């Protein structure tokens, strides 16, 4: 019995393309991306790092509401999103706003989501996504359903979802991967293993040596990927996407990553549950540093280009937060209208009371 488990666990070696110094360690799986595409990936990672820094500052100024920091997880988030097609579906968790933005969510709406304004969840028609899920793991079940729908409609598209290491302990996680496996639905289940569920380390979360191996019980593909290596995450997601649209069913991708900041801006203190050594060890794996080194070795990325991206990001953010702040405040009647297609009589009565107040 012990041998069976060991045999399984030994299969889940971390998949990597670039090492920490930006050198290609796996030529066979180096993705076929043009120089322009490589630069676009870098641009998105730099932009998203700035967005994270500015979002934290705006939150502290009281200009944003709920915010879950993303620095450190850019390769996991953007490498996987870069492998998607426009008509693929994203079912994100609360930390996955960057994927939505790069799939087409206007920045000012991302800010409105943070502020708890309903317009932050009214997505453009061409953006196929649900709004960030707060209930841990719930999006995994929904993804099985969306993917099955795509299959039944003969679409050559996938539904991709994201949860964290903590999310893999939820019943919804197992229900989602099992159901999608049973129906060979075109789903991609990403687990961003950032080592902690708020303050709980992954070693206390599960006795499983990897989270990727949880795929075995569902009879689906599973792979553990270096989540600080954007090319590895891209390559794994691209493979999973092809596998799914070819009718072979879902893949579980565990990305090994780290959040450099706190869990959210609501007040946890990472120094109470993480050591400086651990932070430093992961900072050496910073996905931006590694990819920058790779691009510099190919002579396709300069400091000037990076500074330009930073300036552009700051400018966009300034405009977007202004636009978000100009959005009319939400009213009680907006809440009622957004919740109900047909109003029960008691709410109709209440709505009229509020309408009268709001029109004053
Ligand atoms: C069903 C449910 N239980 C508990 C919570 C409270 N909660 C919010 S975030 C979180 C930790 C999640 O950790 P992980 O899945 O590793 O994701 P990460 O935040 O690290 O990206 C918990 C327990 C919740 N939102 N939903
Ligand atoms: Mg986590």
For residue 249, give both structure tokens: 């069913």
With a cut of 90, say whether residue 193 has pLDDT above it: yes
Task: Indicate whether 253 and 350 sit together in one domain.
Answer: no
Task: Indicate whether 344 and 317 sit together in one domain.
Answer: no
Mean pLDDT within 243-249 = 98
Residue of 49, 95, 128, 259 marked catalytic = 259
Task: Indicate whether 76 and 122 sit together in one domain.
Answer: yes
- Tell me: the pLDDT tens digits for 13-62? 999 999 999 999 999 999 999 999 999 999 999 999 999 999 999 999 99
CA of 195 to the centre of ligand 2 (A): 5
Task: Indicate whether 261 and 271 sit together in one domain.
Answer: yes
Q: Provide the pLDDT for residue 288.
A: 98
Full domain range(s) for residue 353: 330-360
Distance from the first to the final alpha carbon of the chain:
73
Q: Provide the pLDDT for residue 360.
A: 84
Q: Is 95 a catalytic residue?
A: no
Task: Indicate whether 227 and 347 sit together in one domain.
Answer: no
Task: Indicate whether 322 and 336 sit together in one domain.
Answer: no
136 CB near ligand 1 (under 6 Å): yes
Task: Indicate whether 358 and 235 sit together in one domain.
Answer: no
Residue 241 belongs to domain with CATH number: 3.40.50.970
Q: Provide the pLDDT for residue 1.
A: 84
CA of 212 to the centre of ligand 2 (A): 14
* DSSP string for residues in 71-135: TT-HHHHHHHHHT--TT-EEE-BTT-HHHHHHHT--HHHHHHHHTT-GGGG---TT--BPPPB-S
Task: Indicate whether 92 and 237 sit together in one domain.
Answer: yes
Task: Indicate whether 205 and 143 sit together in one domain.
Answer: yes
Nearest ligand atom owner, CA of 266: 1
199 CB near ligand 1 (under 6 Å): no
Task: Indicate whether 348 and 240 sit together in one domain.
Answer: no
Task: Indicate whether 154 and 252 sit together in one domain.
Answer: yes
Task: Indicate whether 194 and 137 sit together in one domain.
Answer: yes
**Residue the block writes with tokens 């707060």:** 134
* Total tally of structural domains belonging to the chain: 2
Cα separation, 304 vs 218, in Å, equals: 48
What is the average pLDDT value for the chain, to the nearest integer? 97
- Tell me: the pLDDT tens digits for 91-143? 999 999 999 999 999 999 999 999 999 999 999 999 999 999 999 999 999 99
């Amino acid at each position: 019995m012990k041998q069976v488990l060991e045999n399984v666990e030994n299969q889940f070696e971390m998949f990597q393309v670039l090492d920490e110094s930006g050198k290609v360690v796996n030529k066979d799986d180096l993705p076929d991306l043009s120089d322009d595409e490589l630069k676009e990936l870098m641009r998105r990672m730099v932009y998203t790092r700035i967005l994270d820094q500015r979002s934290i500052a705006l939150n502290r100024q009281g200009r944003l509401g709920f915010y879950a920091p993303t620095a450190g997880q850019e390769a996991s988030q953007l490498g996987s999103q870069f492998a998607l097609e426009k008509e693929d579906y994203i079912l994100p968790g609360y930390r996955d706003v960057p994927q939505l933005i790069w799939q087409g969510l206007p920045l000012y709406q991302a800010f409105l989501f943070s502020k708890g304004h309903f317009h932050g969840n009214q997505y453009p028609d061409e953006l196929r996504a649900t709004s960030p899920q707060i209930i841990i793991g719930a999006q995994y079940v929904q993804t099985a359903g969306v993917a099955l729908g795509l299959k039944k409609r003969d679409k050559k598209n996938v539904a991709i979802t994201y949860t964290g290491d903590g999310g893999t302990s939820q019943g919804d996680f197992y229900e989602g991967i099992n159901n999608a496996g049973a129906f060979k639905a075109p789903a991609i289940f990403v687990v961003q293993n950032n080592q902690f569920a708020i303050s709980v380390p992954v070693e206390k979360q599960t006795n499983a040596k990897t989270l990727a191996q949880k795929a075995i019980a569902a009879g689906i593909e599973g792979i553990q990927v270096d989540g600080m290596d954007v090319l590895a995450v891209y390559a794994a997601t691209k493979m999973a996407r092809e596998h799914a649209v070819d009718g072979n069913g879902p893949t579980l991708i565990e990305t090994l990553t780290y959040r450099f900041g706190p869990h959210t801006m609501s007040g946890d203190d990472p120094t109470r549950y993480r050591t400086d050594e651990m932070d430093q060890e992961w900072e050496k794996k910073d996905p931006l540093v590694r990819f920058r080194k790779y691009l510099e070795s190919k002579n396709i990325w300069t400091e000037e280009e990076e500074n330009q991206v930073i300036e552009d990001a700051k400018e966009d953010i300034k405009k977007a937060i202004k636009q978000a702040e100009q959005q009319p405040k939400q009213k009680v009647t907006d809440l009622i209208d957004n919740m109900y297609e047909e109003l029960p009589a008691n709410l109709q009565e209440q709505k009229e009371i509020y309408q009268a107040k709001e029109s004053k």
